[in-house]
Structure 1
Amino acid sequence: MSLFSDNIRHLRMKKDVSQEIVAESLFISRDILAKYEQGKSQAPYENLIKLSRYYHVSIDLLLTVDIRKIDMDGLIKLDDNRIVLPITVDQNGGNLIEIIPQKAKAGYLSGYSDPEFIESLQHIALPFLRNGKYRAFPIEGRSMPPFQEGSFIVGEYVEHLEHIKDGHTYIMLTKNDGIVYKRVFRKGKKFMFHSDNPDFEPYEVTPSQILEAWKYACGFTTTEYEPDNIPHDTVKNLLLELKRDVSILKNKIQ
């Protein structure tokens, strides 16, 4: 027997349907389905897709995770049959927020849809965050002040990219860059990722590159924020240059 055979048998019994009904829905014979459930035959790719869509469970879960140990009814259903683990609460009803530690950040790109990876994460509870699915992500670099190295952003899961609002900040998981925290704007059918630090150039991202989006809910830092030490004379010179540029621009308009 295999995880796959155990899983599809468990899902069918949980759905309380016969092998005949499932086989008919999948356009395969009952004998073939029975062999899958008994572990006597391996399902070809096209039948894996059919089973995945029929039970609304991703193929990787069917093949690699013991679904009997997961509360399937409490899972958030995502596009392409992906899932996020259920929203869990503490004894007081507060959300338990999963924390992606710095050392696990690199592995999140490959483990974000793996229930066992997510289950292994530590949790915190914040009493003011109750409704929604939340996760805390580590921040690197200095592109989004005042958050800097050692900071964490707690994001609320965004189920559809259509729900992203212009000018708001999001933790975005992308195929190319992994975890990034940016201010997001729409540009036609694409998105522009902006940094609040002007030293960093904005860049364009297509929806197909985005794997997850988490809207900013709150943030906390483990290091003290130190503003840039800009001499007074430098600030004064910058203001004088700005005033001069504005005057030149006004003259050109006139």
Structure 2
Amino acid sequence: MSFFGRNIKKIRGVKGLSQKSFAELFDLKRATLGAYEEGRSEPKIETIIKIANYFSISIDSLLTSDLTVNELLRFKEDLILNHALDEKEKLVGIPYIAEKNITNYCSYAENPSFIEDLPVIHLPIDDEKSLRAFAVTNLEMTDNDKGLYPKDIVIAEYVSKEELVDYGNGEVVVAVLDEEVILRKIYFIGDEVIFKAAHKNIEDKNYPKSSIKELWLIKYSFIKRLPEVGDEVENKLLFLERELLKLKNRG
């Protein structure tokens, strides 16, 4: 296997190009470029020549040696390394499943190309596990005007099959089934899984435990509205204080 994938990934880093931008330069698909970088596929000779010529790198160097950043900078003067990038907080790219993609996600969640083509949310999250971002599409997790509303976004961490035994005690999860993605609290009773909504008027959903294709534990949420500052009791006390002050001033 050649060094091609590792080298073009380094070139992108030095040049500051995303996979999408780099792929567009050479008429490639983003998924194809990802396969090159991960060593899952080798490029055509025409692609190798295009990239080598564009960045003034010899084909031999591109394919047979692990290029260093200093070497890349010497190949072409306009490949400028931004040292400030090392000082900035790293952002994690998280695949985002929007409302329009949720149905397709049930069918293609295990397809790497489908995942690579999803939009990506970049966040300063320190998490080594696989993450997904899901759009909230209903009011099932609302209670007394609190909770998650449509258009909010939840960030969830992958739960492996082996880890399932540690869950099922009321955690808020995203569960992927054959034809449905469920955002609720999860409970395991024997071989059955029960999904409970926070909304009191919504009935539970019961399925066999084996029907879960993927399970994601919610770790963060992002709301698309301004939250209320302070609680109701505090606001009432402040109101009473103002009214008492008015009465005192009148007297």
Q: Could you state the TM-score of these two structures normalised by the residue count of structure 1? A: 0.51
Q: Would you say the 8 A contact 1:150–1:223 is kept in 2?
A: no
Rounded to whole Å, the distance in 2 between the matches of 1:72 and 1:106 is: 31
**Unaligned stretches of 5+ residues in structure 2:** 2-30, 41-84, 229-251
Find 1:197's aligned residue among 196, 199, 203.
199
Rounded to whole Å, the distance in 2 between the matches of 1:184 and 1:103 is: 24
Offset from partner CA, 1:217-238 (integer Å, 9 cap, x none): 1111224579xxxxxxxxxxxx
Rounded to whole Å, the distance in 2 between the matches of 1:68 and 1:224 is: 41
Partner of 1:144: 141
Comparing 199-208 with 149-158, greater Cα deviation is found at 199-208
1:5-44 superposed matches below 5 A: none
Rounded to whole Å, the distance in 1 between the matches of 2:125 and 2:218 is: 14
C-alpha change, 1:110 and 1:72, in structure 2 (3 Å) is farther
Confirm or deny that 1:71 pairs with 2:71: no
Give the % identical residues. 21
Q: What's the CA shift for 1:207? A: 2.0
Q: Would you say the 8 A contact 2:158–2:217 is kept in 1?
A: yes
Offset from partner CA, 1:44-73 (integer Å, 9 cap, x none): xxxxxxxxxxxxxxxxxxxxx979536279
**Unaligned stretches of 5+ residues in structure 1:** 1-9, 11-64, 74-89, 227-254
1:161-180 superposed matches below 5 A: 161-176=164-179, 178-180=180-182
- What code does the residue aligned with 1:163 have? D
- What code does the residue aligned with 2:192 have? K
Q: What's the CA shift for 1:126? A: 2.3
Off by >6 Å, runs of 4+ in structure 1: none
State the superposition RMSD in angstroms. 2.7
Offset from partner CA, 1:176-216 (integer Å, 9 cap, x none): 4x111010111112211100111111121212211100001
Partner of 2:187: 185
Confirm or deny that 1:126 pairs with 2:105: no
Confirm or deny that 1:219 pairs with 2:216: no
SS in 2 for 1:128: coil
Rounded to whole Å, the distance in 2 between the matches of 1:72 and 1:217 is: 32
Q: Would you say the 8 A contact 1:134–1:157 is kept in 2?
A: yes
C-alpha change, 1:100 and 1:93, in structure 2 (3 Å) is same
